[in-house]
C-alpha cells in the first residue's frame, strides 16, 4: 500500500511552486516528518515532509517542474528499504490508481502498451526526452494501457536486466566557434520573482536617490567598549544594524512620509515601523521583516536579525516572516560595496542603503584627519517623498549615528 505525498498549502495567494530538489531517492527509507523534497516559491524554499514511515516510492514530478498546491508529487511505500524495495510494477499500479482518480491531461490521447511518441501525453513525452527511455519498451499502466510519465521514470529507475536502456543525454555546455563554452541555467522561481518585482518598482515609482556620509567613530567606539558585555548578557553579538534600525525608527517618526505608501489615490500613514532587512540566502536575496521595531531594544533587534540570517542560510524562513514591511534597510557594506542606489521594495516608498566603512580624510576644526566614514543612500518614491524630506531623514540618521547618545535620550 502506498501513501500519497502532495504539495502542501504554501501560504495566502500562493498556488504553485517549483520542485527545486528531491532530498530522497526511490528505494531509500524515510521517516515520518522527514523532508523528502524542497519546493521553491516566490519567496522562500519549503521542505515537503513524508507523512509516514516507509520507503520512497515513485516521484511524480522532476526537479524544475512547476507543481500546484494539492498535486501528487510522490508515493511512500510501506515497509523498510532492506525488506521492501518495491518492484517497479507494484509502484506503477499505485500511481495508476492515483492517475485514474484525476481527470486526464488536456489533449492527452490514449496509448497502447509500448505506444509511440505521438500517443504520449506531454508530460510523458518530456520524461522520455529527459531519461532517454524508449517508450516502446515500457508497459503502460494508464488508461487503455497508456504509457505515463511515472511509467517512464519507473523504467529509468529500474531498467530491465536484459535491456540496455539509453543513458540520459548529458547537459553539456554549448561550445562556440572559438572553443569557448556557455551554459544555460534556468532561473529559480525566487530569482524570477525578484527580477519581476524590481522591474515593477522601476516602472511604477518615480525613484530618486540622495546620499550623505556618516562618521562612524563614536558608534565603533561604543561597540568596541561594550561588545563583550553585550554578548555575555544577551547571547548575541553587537553589530551596527541595531544602531541603524533604532536610528531609522526615530527618523521615520520625524518624517512619517518615508514610512508611508501609496495605495490607489490615497496615502497610507502608519504609527508602527516594520523594518525589512535584506539578508543573503543560497538562492538569492530575501527580505524578512522585523515587526514593531519601534518597541524593540538594540538587543532585541540584533537577536531578530541574527535569527533571520541563520534561517535564511538553511532555508527555514517562513512565508509570514517575509510579508509586509514598511521600510527596508540593505547593508551592501558587508560585501564591500562603496556606494549604490538601492531599489525600492514595493509597495514601500523608501530603502536605506548602508555601505562599507573606509578611513577617509575629513576636515575637523580646520584640520585634515582620517575618520572611519560610511556612505548612506536613500532611494525613495518622489511621488510621495519630497527632496527636503529625504534629506531631512538622512540627516537624522547621520546625527543619531555620529552621536549615539541621541538614541538613548530620544532626540
Q: Which residues pair with 75 in a beta bridge?
A: 4
- Is position 382 annotated as part of the catalytic site? yes
- Is position 234 annotated as part of the catalytic site? no
Buried b (16+ CB within 10 A) or exposed e, 90-99: ebbebbbebb
Among the listed residues 314, 382, 403, 410, the single catalytic one is 382
**CA 257, CA 261: separation in Å to the nearest integer?**
8
- The residue count of the chain comes to 411
User: What is the Cα 135 distance to its own chain's centre?
Assistant: 37
Q: How far, in Å, are 229, 243, 309 from residue 238 at the CA level?
A: 10, 9, 14
Residue 187 DSSP symbol: P
User: What is the Cα 206 distance to its own chain's centre?
Assistant: 27
Coil, helix or strand at residue 364: strand
Residue with cell 551596527: 240
Among the listed residues 235, 386, 403, 410, the single catalytic one is 386
User: Any alpha helices (H) in 101-216, and if so which ranges?
Assistant: 122-131, 149-157, 189-204
Sign of CA dihedral 127, 133, 134, 140: negative
- 17 closest CA partner among 71, 59, 75, 56: 71
Coil, helix or strand at residue 91: helix
Is residue 42 within 8 A of residue 52, CB to CB? The reply is no
Residues carrying an active site annotation: 382, 386
Amino acid at each position: 500500500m502506498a501513501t500519497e505525498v502532495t504539495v502542501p498549502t504554501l501560504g495566502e495567494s500562493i498556488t504553485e511552486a517549483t520542485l527545486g530538489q528531491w532530498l530522497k531517492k526511490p528505494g531509500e527509507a524515510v521517516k515520518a516528518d522527514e523532508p523528502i523534497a524542497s519546493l521553491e516559491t516566490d519567496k522562500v524554499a519549503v521542505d515537503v515532509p513524508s507523512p509516514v514511515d516507509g520507503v520512497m516510492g515513485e516521484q511524480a514530478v522532476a526537479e524544475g517542474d512547476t507543481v500546484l498546491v494539492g498535486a501528487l508529487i510522490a508515493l511512500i511505500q510501506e515497509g523498510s528499504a532492506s525488506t521492501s524495495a518495491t518492484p517497479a510494477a507494484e509502484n506503477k499500479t499505485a500511481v495508476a490508481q492515483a492517475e485514474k482518480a484525476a481527470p486526464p491531461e488536456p489533449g492527452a490521447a490514449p496509448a497502447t502498451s509500448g505506444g509511440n511518441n505521438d500517443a504520449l501525453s506531454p508530460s510523458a513525452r518530456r520524461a522520455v526526452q529527459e531519461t532517454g527511455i524508449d517508450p516502446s519498451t515500457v508497459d503502460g499502466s494508464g488508461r487503455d494501457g497508456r504509457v505515463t510519465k511515472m511509467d517512464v521514470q519507473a523504467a529509468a529507475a529500474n531498467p530491465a536486466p536484459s535491456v540496455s536502456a539509453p543513458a540520459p543525454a548529458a547537459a553539456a555546455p554549448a561550445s562556440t566557434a572559438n572553443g569557448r563554452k556557455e551554459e544555460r541555467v534556468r532561473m529559480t522561481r525566487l530569482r524570477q520573482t525578484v527580477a519581476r518585482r524590481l522591474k515593477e518598482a522601476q516602472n511604477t515609482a518615480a525613484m530618486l536617490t540622495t546620499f550623505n556620509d556618516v562618521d562612524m567613530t563614536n558608534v565603533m567606539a561604543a561597540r568596541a567598549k561594550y561588545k563583550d558585555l553585550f554578548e555575555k548578557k544577551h547571547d548575541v553579538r553587537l553589530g551596527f544594524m541595531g544602531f541603524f534600525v533604532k536610528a531609522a525608527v526615530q527618523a521615520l517618526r520625524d518624517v512619517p512620509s518615508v514610512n508611508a505608501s501609496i495605495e490607489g489615490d490615497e496615502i497610507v500613514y502608519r504609527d508602527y515601523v516594520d523594518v525589512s532587512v535584506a539578508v543573503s540566502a543560497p538562492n538569492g536575496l530575501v527580505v524578512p521583516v522585523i515587526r514593531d521595531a519601534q518597541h524593540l531594544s538594540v538587543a532585541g533587534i540584533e537577536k531578530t536579525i541574527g535569527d533571520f540570517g541563520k534561517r535564511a542560510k538553511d532555508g527555514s524562513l517562513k512565508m509570514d516572516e517575509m510579508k509586509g514591511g514598511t521600510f527596508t534597510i540593505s547593508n551592501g557594506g558587508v560585501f564591500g560595496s562603496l556606494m549604490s542606489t538601492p531599489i525600492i521594495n514595493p509597495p514601500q516608498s523608501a530603502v536605506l542603503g548602508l555601505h562599507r566603512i573606509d578611513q577617509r580624510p575629513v576636515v575637523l576644526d580646520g584640520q585634515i584627519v582620517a575618520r572611519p566614514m560610511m556612505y548612506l543612500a536613500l532611494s525613495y518614491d518622489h511621488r510621495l517623498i519630497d527632496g527636503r524630506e529625504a534629506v531631512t531623514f538622512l540627516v537624522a540618521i547621520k546625527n543619531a549615528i555620529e552621536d549615539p547618545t541621541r538614541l538613548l535620550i530620544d532626540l
